[in-house]
């Protein structure tokens, strides 16, 4: 009996060794996604309601907090832009590279924010924004502006015929941009100290990978200067959270 079992085992091993390795099938939902063109995803509700009315931009002159190079913005022509970038290196190539062209190893998404940088914040601020993609084989799916862990922005207007967010499909071999502006109001939760105005977008690549780009624009809250100054610093950053797809 032991010899029979051993013979059957060796026969099974031999038969398996002769078979070519089998490809792991793609999950059904991933195969469906791969076969369909990318499309815009509707934005979910904001986590905290914004104000619905009021002035849509700041008044000047506007004091700058703690910057030795400049004390006051005299008008909006002096506003500053910050342009952080989020890079994503896919686990496998998603862009076919023609012969002779340099190999592109990353996809890039920018969220540029322009406004009264490091200004004292006790009134509505208008922030101009530019969403950019560079060599992105995928799309920007949404756009959420507001105060970090606080009130959402209001009066978000895109430079489109209807003022609404466009479908933002990237170009694997070039640069694309979309522009607009929003208004952000002081948040009563942050009375005295540094605050980050932020904008966040989901970046969806055609191979199923995804990441989230977050830009930060610092202002200094002076809603109530009798309160102790909260710990903080003028942060300019681009953070991202990513996940592989299939």
In a domain, 32, yes or no: no
- What pLDDT is recorded for position 3? 46
Domain contains 234: yes
Indicate whether 14 belongs to any domain.
no
Q: Looking at residue 24, what is its pLDDT?
A: 34
State which residues form the domain around 167. Answer: 76-95+104-246
Contacts of 172 (CB under 8 A, 6+ apart): 95, 104, 135, 136, 137
Give dist(CA 32, CA 29) in Å, integer: 5
pTM check: above 0.95: no
Whole-number Å distance between alpha carbons of 189 and 143: 23
Contact (CB, 8 A) for 186 and 123: yes
Helices (H), the chain: 2-18, 28-35
pLDDT of residue 238: 53
Task: Please list the rounded mean pLDDT of every run of 10 residues in the chain (246 residues).
Answer: 40 41 38 41 39 75 92 95 78 52 66 95 96 90 92 94 94 92 94 94 86 90 92 66 46
Taking residue 162's Cβ as centre, other Cβ atoms within 10 Å add up to: 7
Structure tokens at 132: 């950019």
In a domain, 36, yes or no: no
Per-residue pLDDT, 232: 78
Tens-digit pLDDT profile for residues 46-69: 334 444 556 788 999 999 998 888
Does residue 28 form part of some domain?
A: no
Q: Is residue 184 part of a domain?
A: yes
Cβ count near 117 (within 10 Å): 21
Total number of domains in the chain? 1
Task: Give Cα 240 distance to the centre of its chain.
Answer: 7
Residue length, the chain? 246
Question: Does some domain include residue 148?
Answer: yes
Any domain includes 109: yes
Read off the CATH number of the domain in which 180 is found. 2.60.40
- 117, 79 contact by CB (below 8 A): yes
Whole-angstrom distance, CA of residue 47 vs CA of residue 243:
22
**Distance between terminal CA atoms of the chain?**
46
**pLDDT of 56:** 81
User: What's the DSSP call for residue 150?
Assistant: S
State residue 176's pLDDT score.
Answer: 95
- Residue 170 has a CB neighbour count (10 Å cut-off) of 25
DSSP per position, 50-68: PP-SS-SS--SSEEBSS-T
Distance, in Å, from the CA atom of 133 to the CA atom of 111, rounded to the nearest integer, reads 9
**Nearest-CA neighbor of 39 among 122, 189, 111, 139?**
139
């Amino acid at each position: 009996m032991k010899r029979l079992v051993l013979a059957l085992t060796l026969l099974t091993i031999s038969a398996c060794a002769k078979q070519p390795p089998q490809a792991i099938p793609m999950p059904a939902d991933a195969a469906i996604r791969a076969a369909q063109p990318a499309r815009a995803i509707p934005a979910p509700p904001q986590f905290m309601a914004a104000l619905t009315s009021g002035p849509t931009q700041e008044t000047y002159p506007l004091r700058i907090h703690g910057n030795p190079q400049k004390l006051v913005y005299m008008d909006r022509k002096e506003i500053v832009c910050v342009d952080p970038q989020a890079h994503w290196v896919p686990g496998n190539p998603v862009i076919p590279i023609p012969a002779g062209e340099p190999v592109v190893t990353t996809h890039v998404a920018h969220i540029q924010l322009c406004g009264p940088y490091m200004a004292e914040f006790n009134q509505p601020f208008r922030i101009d924004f530019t969403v950019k993609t560079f060599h992105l084989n995928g799309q920007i799916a949404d756009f959420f502006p507001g105060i970090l862990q606080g009130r959402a922005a209001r009066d978000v207007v895109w430079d489109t015929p209807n003022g609404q967010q466009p479908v933002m499909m990237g170009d694997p071999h070039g640069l694309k941009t979309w522009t607009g502006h929003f208004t952000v109001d002081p948040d009563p939760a942050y009375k005295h100290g540094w605050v980050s105005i932020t904008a966040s977008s989901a970046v969806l690549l055609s191979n199923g990978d995804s990441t989230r780009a977050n830009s930060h624009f610092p202002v200094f809250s002076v809603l109530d200067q009798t309160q102790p100054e909260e710990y903080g610093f003028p942060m300019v950053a681009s953070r991202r959270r990513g996940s592989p797809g299939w």
